[in-house]
């Protein structure tokens, strides 16, 4: 992933209890970090992050995670998390994230997280709402590939 | 993934503290479950699972995780974890896993985890040792695609 | 604590991701184990364990935890968790737990967890309901010290 | 505990994955927070925090935790963690901690964590070294009650 495509950046420090028996951040903790970035991103673009909606069975579900581990992260490392919505399709959208060691600027990891929008009544995929598309378009401009909205009949 | 390709199966129960704010198993916990299966698999095929080697910076590193989330898992669900090494290349190998709801036989999630073998002195990729290839061959037979060993000169 | 006072026992295995950088179960994970025991205890005595009530701000809150660490627990240790409600006072009750290494019968840790019953409307302490007292009395008999119910006026 | 007795303060934010099924920080996570404060405290007073020593079986072990839960903490709450070593006895010492909601100044929780110093060769309690006592005395002055060093013969 190309860091120059990302506008949104937050920073956090590795806490001691996130270190595993090998003295490095456990591979599952990376998912926590990427999620912290995504939740903040949604807040910052003005999407109402309902604590009961994002990633939930009711409205938006995470259906796929891809993580590339580039470098270990260690206790007290300061990490930058870059997040962006890179694509919106008819009923799904992609979050991309980069985890970067702030001191060395080395890439620690990369993530692609695919989400699907569900109709809360039927739990079936439904088009990503126009309002959400507008919020992403306003924030990302042309960096996000947004496919046209299709009415499912 | 096709369940009939998997010989190795363990079972665990979802514990209450693995449930997130939505009442379902958090997406990062899936990585814990898949790892539990892998560690048991390595033990069962006779690979010496050094607590300081698997996934460590010293010998074998996890470089990529792909997770597909099919169904939520909930408190007290009994889950079956199927694990196999599906491919060994010159310096890397793939673990595949299926997470299954024991009661309903529904697939909860799937995982592919790519590992690279490192020379502990140089931290550079080195061929997967013949001894490890033999252990996998003995357990998996023809189900695992094993590329020939190449001496790097 | 005296193990002979405990009727309720469950068993679990230490999972690899519960191990910290020192190769032993992290001190916070003990609280997870004790909680697993408590939730199962409540189920087994017939108390309706609402996923949204126990330990929640709405009805029953955990107000104090005391943990004594006796021995480290390690990867793959099989642990027995003994749980009991040892005392019910007017608006609060105590859970006691023992964590035991199944192989060596050594005590790994002990816990006392104090809970307070709240009126969900006012969030103020309210007497532990008679129905709950009866369930505990039926299961624990005279082993649980139950103070008489006082009507707060 | 009296906040005015504490010199050492750090700050952190509640991250979304630390929230449990009730929408509040899980009771075990409090131990993580207190530990973050202690580790930073030791660093700041100049005690060499060996990643393999503090809380380990080799030199210093945590033997008891007492936690009082005063208020729930929620997603995005900014928390202040106050830490101090309040007492040093012959072979053991006490850490005290306060967790405070930064916005409301309300006490979220309190912790007392008792540690024992071990002789790494015999794993038996040994006097807390004079060097460590000096570091604490220099930082805490008379706020820490330090009992005289006793040679065990």
C100, C83 Cβ separation under 8 angstroms: no
How far apart, in whole angstroms, are the C-alpha atoms of residue A119 and residue B62?
Answer: 36
- Could you tell me which residue, B147 or D66, shows the higher pLDDT? D66
Q: What pLDDT, in 10s, does the model give residues C56-115?
A: 444 888 999 999 999 999 988 999 999 999 999 999 999 999 999 999 999 999 999 999
- What does the DSSP 8-state code read for residue A128? P
Provide, as residue numbers in chain A, all residues whose Cβ is less than 8 Å from the Cβ of D36.
Answer: 15-17
Residue C153 has pLDDT above 60, yes or no: no
Sketch the domain layout of chain A as residue ranges.
3-146
Residue A25: strand pairing partners: A19
Q: What pLDDT, in 10s, does the model give residues B71-81?
A: 999 988 999 99
Domain covering B3-143: architecture: Roll (3.10)
Query: For position B153, what pLDDT does the model report?
Result: 57
Q: Does B16 touch chain A (CB under 8 A)?
A: no
Q: Does C19 touch chain B (CB under 8 A)?
A: yes
Query: For position A142, what pLDDT does the model report?
Result: 92
Query: For position A55, what pLDDT does the model report?
Result: 45
Residues 34-53, chain D, touching A (beta carbon < 8 A): 35-36, 39, 51
For residue B56, name the pLDDT band (cuts at 50, 70, 90).
very low
Name the CA dihedral angle for B46, B113, A40, A49, rounded to a multiple of 10 degrees. -100
Share of chain C above pLDDT 90, in %: 69
Q: Does D65 touch chain C (CB under 8 A)?
A: yes
**Closest of D47, D28, D44 to residue D109, by C-alpha:** D28
CATH superfamily for D3-146 is Hotdog Thioesterase (3.10.129.10)
Q: What pLDDT, in 10s, does the model give residues B60-69?
A: 889 999 999 9
Interface chains of chain D (3 or more CB pairs under 8 Å): A, B, C
How far apart, in whole angstroms, are the C-alpha atoms of residue B72 and residue A11?
Answer: 30
D16 Cβ contact list (under 8 Å, min separation 6): A35, A36, A39, B21, D75
Q: Does C17 touch chain D (CB under 8 A)?
A: no
Q: What pLDDT, in 10s, does the model give residues D58-110?
A: 488 899 999 999 999 998 899 999 999 999 999 999 999 999 999 999 999 99
For the segment A89-103, the average pLDDT, to the nearest whole number, is 97
* Buried b or exposed e, range C58-89, using 16+ CB within 10 angstroms: bbbbbbbbbbbbebbbbbebebbbbbbbbbbb
Q: Locate the chain D residue with the closest alpha carbon to B17.
A: D20
**Closest of C58, C86, C69 to residue C28, by C-alpha:** C69
Query: For position B98, what pLDDT does the model report?
Result: 98
B51 vs C17: CB contact, 8 Å cut-off?
Answer: no
């Amino acid at each position: 992933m190309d860091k120059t495509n990302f506008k949104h950046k937050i920073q956090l420090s590795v806490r001691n209890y996130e270190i595993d028996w090998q003295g490095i951040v456990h591979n599952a903790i990376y998912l926590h970090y990427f999620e912290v970035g995504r939740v903040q991103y949604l807040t910052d673009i003005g999407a109402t992050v309902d604590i009961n909606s994002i990633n939930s069975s009711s409205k938006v579900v995470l259906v796929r995670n891809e993580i590339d581990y580039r470098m270990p992260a260690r206790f007290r490392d300061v990490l930058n998390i870059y997040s962006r919505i890179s694509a919106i399709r008819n009923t799904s959208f992609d979050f991309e994230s980069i985890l970067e060691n702030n001191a060395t600027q080395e890439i620690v990891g990369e993530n692609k997280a695919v989400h699907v929008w569900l109709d809360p009544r039927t739990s079936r995929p439904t088009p990503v709402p126009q309002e959400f598309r507008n919020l992403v378009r306003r924030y990302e401009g042309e960096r996000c590939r947004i496919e046209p909205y299709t009415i499912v009949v």
